[in-house]
Structure 1
């Protein structure tokens, strides 16, 4: 008994001690959760939080958000059977292209508030982090306004007080001009808190802030100037549309921001001119990460960190590619023929003579000779090469009677008249009618397609960046703003620099600069970079270019270079080899215009598409949100 009592007493004391420790344990802060003060005390920790906010930025087209947005607007054809609806529809829905991520806005506001309150960060670090977050917030508001028009402008994190009355959380839509004013003013406010460092590409810099300001001000100016052409696209409270009287003010801001970059005050940005072959040089703008003075702000990828993109896997020429993947984006003849001749003239690709007879060429590439070098840097053409090997794009043999011998699969073989054995009668890259992943327009995409070994493999993928802002666009922003302000001579100077890089060495004069020229230059320079939709919208010509009417070949070949040229269906150009022994043209190449068989619809942009539909649930939760026009 004497031995048992001490044991019992010890157990009671131990239990009591354990209870006390449990109580104390409950008051210990969890080590897996950081307080706001802890999270914002170390620059590396703050940067990791900011990195997530960078990763959530919105892009219309991007290398990791699918390839389909690049294969729309009749600039290209989607060579994937599951995506054929892109060229079969007759109109876009009103919800196309919308974005309304106020969760992201709240997180940006929280970051700004918490970084502001942080008292252990060095002032230089805090200033840069705050400027970066404000840049991301302004850039996302810009993404919203160009899709939705005026949206609620919320610059603080909102918290519900559980009172049963949420009305204090309901903000009305700001005027469209007020959102643009916010983006522009934020760029001005933060630009000097950001580094002047053209070698910093994936984080915000002074150059990035000014590039955003220039583009946003240009958009606002053109909406103000050209909105008079679509009076139906407006609201009485100006949540949609901008008064014409504001146009010049915005154009002036766009020009000044662009000139600040061009002057060098934001860093030594310049046009990329690193390779002697002008077509290769243009393609390399989007591939060269190590020595690229043109890119200003990019979404970057790094193989060693595991953050890569599969864009090349989807789009490379399929024949000979790793894992036989690719071929999904086929640029259209509509786009290809828009690249000028070197004498500054516009002309169809010369596949027939004046009498309508086919023109024969010794080499596949000869038909494209003497054109703007940006064509060769944007599109993989028949007769060109990728990754050091020729692409194999041709559609079949043309016989003496005009009939065609071809196959229903890549590299198909048949026996030609007068021959004893089968020969290849169609390219291993196509085109084969309705055969997915082949060059169904006769072309493949080159821009952003990575030739690095392994980049076309699903197991590796690519680390090339997506360029959000670049110097050539800044120069074209300056040219457009100067033109709209009546300074055509200055506009010509900016445009000529961009054009000379593409081999167009006959300078444009002030009298050459027109709205058509402005529209054309942006189309060929910025193709497949996410601009075409928003450019057409801000100029209020989208409903004219995509009017829903089907096209003929005559429609395709007329009015090249016109800003309002209709482009509702993506056409192609197929090469054929002549089999006519004894004829002088035997073995030479001719071309035919085709409309891919799955192109059964025609793009129609309705007036309601100028501003994307605001979801019914959003308006039900906030009655202060007014409806979009025409919806």
Structure 2
């Protein structure tokens, strides 16, 4: 009997001890145990920069537009170009390191939750205020960037600044207006700029100027026709002021090609790489004959928009895609790539050009065409290969170990000048607008623009298309300007090149891929799974 009593007492002791241990378990739906350790908090913030995804992917953002054609359909680019996007299939366009960060809903809100957790816990940290303030400034910048990306994709979005626990009611989450989210972003950036100004910042981390550059883009988009249907001029004034704050603080780098290959004084904020943390844009986009992946092929749609060196467009197309040469341009139908804007040669590899002692052959039957004997499945369908971002000193073999380290540029001075030109034009200051875009054109020795009125607006938009080609702007520009329908009247085009036995070549426009337009595609759909999880609290974007 005494043994039984002892056993009961021992059992009760074990039970209570176990209960105490259970109650002491740290919660699994939040991050704990790091906030008093300065090194761990630094590492936590550093890791959040990965949410600002660089563009050196298998499919660049341009593959979702009339800039590029991806023969492999990476990132689901064809769904976008063909007008097949729905609230169901957008969930298949996942965010990874190899495809564009296209559908960013779930990913962005997961990272925003991590940042909200940081702000909930950071005040309990006892390390130096100067360090704490810098970290807070960085996290405000990253959170503002993530909300900007959500805003540009989906329009009105939920604005969440607290941490949700596993048992919280998600059905209380509702979308906030575009303007309210813009106000939040601007406030975050203004506060971040103050916090970041108190410390020395390492290269590749958020700076006060980076906050202003992001604010410039956010306010420009907010002032644009899609998001400003009443053309409220105060929005254009804010956009102009944000851009003006960076005018003359940076310079245009003298070499347009090398601008994207090395650190330079035009970069305001970028993602930097090392030999151990690198990327492979060379191999991903390299020509098939050099064993490249051939993922990003420039379309004829943008090639025909590169002016001749006299500032004239080379040609237009009739309804059957026949070339109509511009008689004032000097365009030679038998030598179509002669005397173009220097940015064309810095951005695109074309038939007959020399790359790494190799002549590019995209004519029918050429070594770089789909009829090649070398990896024809990677060959261009458009007649062109990407050269912008490509380091000619490194291999373009997809399997190379000689990987690239050139930076991905999030913000540069060239964009700021274009933002400023657009905003000043809409405010009626055409002189300031012309001055800004002519600075950009002077860099590559292109003649100045002297247009006015609607012609000047078109010139500004055209300059943005060329200067920022393949950098991830076109997708958003054609939507915020509400010209997606106009752009979509052209299919994805290429150049059909035939070589005769005597060596003469002929050039004809061909259709490479279909394009379709639907008005709802000015914004992305919220993934249906997110609508379902909200219990109907989230309202789907119109048309989906």
- TM-score range relative to shorter protein: 0.7 to 0.9
Q: Retained in 2: the 8 A contact 1:341–1:347? A: yes
Deviation of 1:576 (Å): 2.5
Cα distance change, pair 36–117 in 1 and its aligned pair in 2 (3 A): farther
Pairing of 1:79-158 with structure 2 (within 5 A): 79-80=71-72, 86=78, 90-95=82-87, 96=90, 97-101=102-106, 102-118=109-125, 120-158=126-164
Cα distance change, pair 109–327 in 1 and its aligned pair in 2 (3 A): same
Q: Retained in 2: the 8 A contact 1:489–1:509? A: no
Bigger Rg, structure 1 or 2:
1
Distance in structure 1 (CA, Å) of the matches to 2:235 and 2:80: 39
Unaligned runs of 5+ in 2: 1-13, 91-101, 317-321
Distance in structure 1 (CA, Å) of the matches to 2:75 and 2:142: 32
Distance in structure 2 (CA, Å) of the matches to 1:217 and 1:89: 27
Q: Retained in 2: the 8 A contact 1:78–1:330? A: yes
Q: Retained in 2: the 8 A contact 1:77–1:87? A: no
Q: 2:278 aligns with which of 277, 298, 308?
A: 308
Number of the residue aligned with 1:48 = 43
Unaligned runs of 5+ in 1: 1-18, 228-240, 274-280, 397-425, 547-565, 580-586
- 3-state secondary structure, aligned to 1:191: helix
Pairing of 1:322-341 with structure 2 (within 5 A): 324-341=291-308
Q: Retained in 2: the 8 A contact 1:316–1:445? A: yes
Q: Retained in 1: the 8 A contact 2:240–2:419? A: yes
> Is 1:602 aligned with 2:514?
yes
Q: Retained in 2: the 8 A contact 1:148–1:611? A: yes
Cα distance change, pair 49–372 in 1 and its aligned pair in 2 (3 A): same
> Is 1:272 aligned with 2:242?
no
List per-residue Cα deviations over 1:522-563 (Å, max 9, x = no partner).
Answer: 1111111111111011111112221xxxxxxxxxxxxxxxxx
Number of the residue aligned with 2:244 = 259
Number of the residue aligned with 1:453 = 394
Distance in structure 1 (CA, Å) of the matches to 2:323 and 2:303: 13
Q: Retained in 2: the 8 A contact 1:393–1:575? A: no
Number of the residue aligned with 1:63 = 56
Deviation of 1:593 (Å): 1.4
Distance in structure 2 (CA, Å) of the matches to 1:91 and 1:137: 31
| Number of residue equivalences | 500
Distance in structure 2 (CA, Å) of the matches to 1:354 and 1:30: 75
- 3-state secondary structure, aligned to 2:241: helix
Distance in structure 2 (CA, Å) of the matches to 1:94 and 1:474: 34
In terms of mean alpha carbon deviation, does 324-333 or 35-44 score higher?
Answer: 35-44
- 3-state secondary structure, aligned to 1:514: helix
Deviation of 1:346 (Å): 1.4
Q: Retained in 2: the 8 A contact 1:67–1:311? A: no
Deviation of 1:248 (Å): 1.7
The two structures have a TM-score, normalised by structure 1, of 0.71
Deviation of 1:52 (Å): 1.7
Deviation of 1:178 (Å): 0.9
Pairing of 1:36-435 with structure 2 (within 5 A): 39-58=34-53, 62-64=55-57, 66-67=58-59, 69-80=61-72, 86=78, 90-95=82-87, 96=90, 97-101=102-106, 102-118=109-125, 120-159=126-165, 166=169, 170-195=172-197, 201-222=203-224, 226-227=225-226, 241-242=227-228, 244=230, 247-264=232-249, 269-273=250-254, 281-289=255-263, 292-304=264-276, 307-319=277-289, 321=290, 324-348=291-315, 367-386=336-355, 388-395=356-363, 426-430=365-369, 432=371, 435=376
Distance in structure 1 (CA, Å) of the matches to 2:70 and 2:229: 39
Number of the residue aligned with 1:276 = none
Distance in structure 1 (CA, Å) of the matches to 2:164 and 2:424: 41
List per-residue Cα deviations over 1:417-457 (Å, max 9, x = no partner).
Answer: xxxxxxxxx43222539942223322110112233435645
In terms of mean alpha carbon deviation, does 81-90 or 332-341 score higher?
Answer: 81-90
List per-residue Cα deviations over 1:257-279 (Å, max 9, x = no partner).
Answer: 11111142xxxx22111xxxxxx
Distance in structure 1 (CA, Å) of the matches to 2:262 and 2:124: 40
Number of the residue aligned with 1:413 = none
Number of the residue aligned with 1:561 = none
Q: Retained in 1: the 8 A contact 2:362–2:380? A: no
Cα distance change, pair 251–495 in 1 and its aligned pair in 2 (3 A): same
Deviation of 1:114 (Å): 1.8
Deviation of 1:504 (Å): 0.8
Q: Retained in 2: the 8 A contact 1:58–1:140? A: no
Q: Retained in 1: the 8 A contact 2:315–2:324? A: no
Number of the residue aligned with 2:422 = 480
List per-residue Cα deviations over 1:204-252 (Å, max 9, x = no partner).
Answer: 1112111110000000100xxx24xxxxxxxxxxxxx55525x322211
Deviation of 1:567 (Å): 2.7
Distance in structure 2 (CA, Å) of the matches to 1:190 and 1:354: 50
- 3-state secondary structure, aligned to 2:377: coil
Distance in structure 2 (CA, Å) of the matches to 1:83 and 1:26: 47
Deviation of 1:86 (Å): 2.5
Distance in structure 2 (CA, Å) of the matches to 1:593 and 1:199: 52
RMSD: 3.6
- 3-state secondary structure, aligned to 2:246: helix
